[in-house]
C-alpha cells in the first residue's frame, strides 16, 4: 500500500428537502453576500431557483447571480464571473447545478484570489494558494465535483479542456437532495452513471500494486451503481436509486477509491480531447465509448487484474483470465448500451479522420505518455481512437 493523504473536508447534507436549508447553512458560516452560479433555465422551470432564493432571503443573504454556465464550462464565462465577484466583493460562491456549474464556481473561486489567468492552474504554470469558499446544491449525479478536489475548464479558442486538482477545490459544503435529479433526462442520467463508474474504474487500474481494502470498496460501489443505474433509467423517480447514484457519485471521486494505490484517469484524458474538440459531446457519452475501447487495447498487459475486476463487478464466471476479460469488456459495453449510451465515436459526430488530431491533443503534441497498465504514446492513442468505429 502506497503512502497517501486523505482529506475530504466537505460537509455533506444528504436527503429530501435539504436544499431548503441553504440559507441557514450559509448564514452559519457567517456569509451574507454570495455569488450564485447556475446553468440555463432548468432550475427556474423546476422551481428550485425560487426555493433557493427564498431560503437565502430568509437569512438576509445578498445574492449576485451568474446564470448561464454551459456544459463543459468555459474560461471566458469564468473570467467574467471572477470580475463580477471581485467588484461585488462576494464572500463565497454557491453553485446550483451539476458538475459544470460546480467546476465553473471552483475556477471562479480560485481566480478571485489569483492575479494571473486561471488557465495557468490547468497547465502547471501556477499552483492554487487560496480560493473563495464554494458550496453547492447538486442537481445531477455524475461528475463527483461536489466532494472532489478537481475541476475542469474548456477554452474553445484553443479547443482544449483541461483539469486542475487542488485541496482548494474541495467544496465547503454540498447539499445533496436526490429528488432534485428526478427531472434529469434518461440520456444525461446514463452519462452520469458512466462518468461515476469510470472515476472508480480509472483508479482501480493504476500502474500500482492492488490494495485489497480499496479494491473491495471500489468493486462494491460499482456493483451498486450498475444496479441503481438501471433502475433510475427505468423509473426516474425511484428515490432509492436516485439516492444511491447521488451518494455514489460523491464517493467515486472524493479519493476514497484510490487510497493506497493512486489514480491515473487515463481514459478521462482521452475523453477530454474529444469533448474539448467537439463541444457537443457529453463527457459521459464519450467515456462510454472510450472506456471499453481502452480496456480492449490494454487488458492483455494485465489479464489477472482485469479478469478479477470483471468477475467481481460484472459477475463474469469464466475461469480463463483472457476469456473472462473479453467477456467482461463485452458485458461492460452491453451495459452502457442498455442505458442508451453510444458505442462508437461516429455516433457522437466525431469523424474517424480526427483520430490523429485527438491523439495529438491528449498526448500534448506527442510529448506525453499516458501510463496505466500499458504506456500509451501518440500512436497507441491514435489506434484506440480508430478502434472506436
Q: Looking at 41, 129, 185, 227, which residue binds a second copy (CB under 8 A)?
A: 227
Q: Looking at 220, 237, 346, 379, which residue binds a second copy (CB under 8 A)?
A: 220
Q: Looking at 113, 223, 230, 357, which residue binds a second copy (CB under 8 A)?
A: 223
Q: Looking at 152, 221, 325, 355, which residue binds a second copy (CB under 8 A)?
A: 221
- In the region spanning residues 23 to 82, those forming contacts with a second copy, defined by CB under 8 A, are none
Half-sphere exposure of 38 (CA within 13 A, CB side): 20
How far is it, in rounded angstroms, from Cα 224 to Cα 163? 28
Nearest distance from C-beta of residue 356 to a second copy, angstroms: 42
C-beta of 88 vs 220, nearer to a second copy: 220
Stated length of the chain: 389
Please report whether residue 7 would count as binding a second copy according to CB under 8 A: yes
Q: Looking at 116, 165, 216, 315, which residue binds a second copy (CB under 8 A)?
A: 216
Please report whether residue 6 would count as binding a second copy according to CB under 8 A: yes
C-beta of 146 vs 380, nearer to a second copy: 146
Please check whether residue 85 is in contact with residue 108, taking contact to mean a CB–CB distance below 8 angstroms: yes
How far is it, in rounded angstroms, from Cα 384 to Cα 181? 34
Tell whether the torsion through CA atoms of 50, 54, 60 and 61 is positive or negative. Answer: negative
Grid cell of 273 as nine digits? 480531447
Write phi, then psi, for 260 (nearest 5 degrees).
85, -10
Q: Looking at 9, 116, 165, 349, which residue binds a second copy (CB under 8 A)?
A: 9
Q: Is residue 87 exposed (0-12), middle (13-18) or buried (19+ Cβ within 10 Å)?
A: exposed
Please check whether residue 376 is in contact with residue 370, taking contact to mean a CB–CB distance below 8 angstroms: yes
For a second copy, what does the binding mask look like between residues 241 and 280, x meaning CB under 8 A? --xx--xx--x----x--xx--------------------
C-beta of 48 vs 256, nearer to a second copy: 256
How far is it, in rounded angstroms, from Cα 199 to Cα 251? 10
Nearest distance from C-beta of residue 107 to a second copy, angstroms: 23
How far is it, in rounded angstroms, from Cα 30 to Cα 28? 5
Tell whether the torsion through CA atoms of 80, 83, 89 and 91 is positive or negative. Answer: positive
Please report whether residue 4 would count as binding a second copy according to CB under 8 A: yes
Please check whether residue 8 is in contact with residue 149, taking contact to mean a CB–CB distance below 8 angstroms: no
- In the region spanning residues 139 to 178, those forming contacts with a second copy, defined by CB under 8 A, are 178
Please report whether residue 235 would count as binding a second copy according to CB under 8 A: no
Q: Looking at 20, 126, 156, 217, which residue binds a second copy (CB under 8 A)?
A: 217
Residues that bind a second copy (CB under 8 A): 1-18, 178, 212-213, 216-217, 219-221, 223-224, 227-228, 239-240, 243-244, 247-248, 251, 256, 259-260
Amino acid at each position: 500500500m502506497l503512502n497517501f493523504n486523505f482529506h475530504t473536508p466537505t460537509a455533506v447534507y444528504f436527503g429530501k428537502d435539504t436544499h431548503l436549508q441553504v440559507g441557514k447553512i450559509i448564514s452559519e458560516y457567517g456569509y451574507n453576500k454570495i455569488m450564485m452560479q447556475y446553468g440555463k433555465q432548468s432550475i427556474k422551470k423546476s422551481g428550485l431557483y425560487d426555493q433557493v432564493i427564498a431560503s437565502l432571503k430568509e437569512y438576509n443573504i445578498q445574492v449576485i447571480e451568474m446564470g448561464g454556465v454551459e456544459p463543459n464550462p468555459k474560461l471566458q464565462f469564468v473570467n467574467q464571473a471572477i470580475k463580477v465577484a471581485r467588484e461585488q466583493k462576494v464572500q463565497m460562491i454557491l453553485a446550483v447545478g451539476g458538475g459544470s456549474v460546480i467546476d465553473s464556481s471552483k475556477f471562479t473561486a480560485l481566480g478571485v484570489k489569483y492575479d494571473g489567468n486561471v488557465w495557468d492552474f490547468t497547465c502547471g504554470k501556477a499552483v492554487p494558494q487560496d480560493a473563495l469558499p464554494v458550496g453547492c446544491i447538486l442537481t445531477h449525479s455524475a461528475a463527483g465535483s461536489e466532494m472532489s478536489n478537481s475541476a475542469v475548464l474548456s477554452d474553445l479558442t484553443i479547443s482544449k479542456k483541461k483539469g486542475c486538482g487542488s485541496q482548494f477545490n474541495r467544496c465547503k459544503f454540498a447539499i445533496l437532495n436526490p429528488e432534485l435529479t428526478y427531472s434529469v433526462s434518461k440520456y444525461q442520467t446514463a452519462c452520469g452513471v458512466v462518468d461515476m463508474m469510470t472515476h472508480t474504474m480509472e483508479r482501480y487500474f493504476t500502474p500500482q500494486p492492488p490494495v485489497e481494502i480499496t479494491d473491495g470498496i471500489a468493486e462494491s460501489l460499482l456493483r451498486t451503481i450498475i444496479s441503481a443505474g438501471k433502475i433510475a433509467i427505468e423509473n426516474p423517480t425511484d428515490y432509492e436509486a436516485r439516492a444511491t447514484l447521488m451518494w455514489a457519485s460523491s464517493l467515486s471521486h472524493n479519493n476514497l477509491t484510490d487510497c493506497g494505490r493512486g489514480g491515473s484517469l487515463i481514459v478521462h484524458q482521452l475523453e477530454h480531447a474529444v469533448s474539448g474538440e467537439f463541444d457537443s459531446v457529453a463527457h459521459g457519452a464519450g467515456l462510454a465509448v472510450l472506456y471499453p475501447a481502452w480496456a480492449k487495447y490494454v487488458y492483455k498487459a494485465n489479464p489477472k487484474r482485469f479478469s478479477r475486476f470483471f468477475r467481481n463487478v460484472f459477475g463474469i464466471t469464466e475461469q480463463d483470465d483472457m476469456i473472462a476479460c473479453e467477456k467482461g469488456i463485452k458485458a461492460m459495453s452491453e451495459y452502457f448500451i442498455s442505458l442508451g449510451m453510444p458505442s462508437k465515436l461516429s455516433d457522437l459526430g466525431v469523424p474517424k479522420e480526427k483520430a490523429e488530431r485527438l491523439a495529438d491533443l491528449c498526448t500534448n503534441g506527442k510529448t506525453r505518455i499516458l501510463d496505466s497498465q500499458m504506456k500509451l504514446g501518440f500512436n497507441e492513442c491514435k489506434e484506440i481512437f480508430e478502434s472506436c468505429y
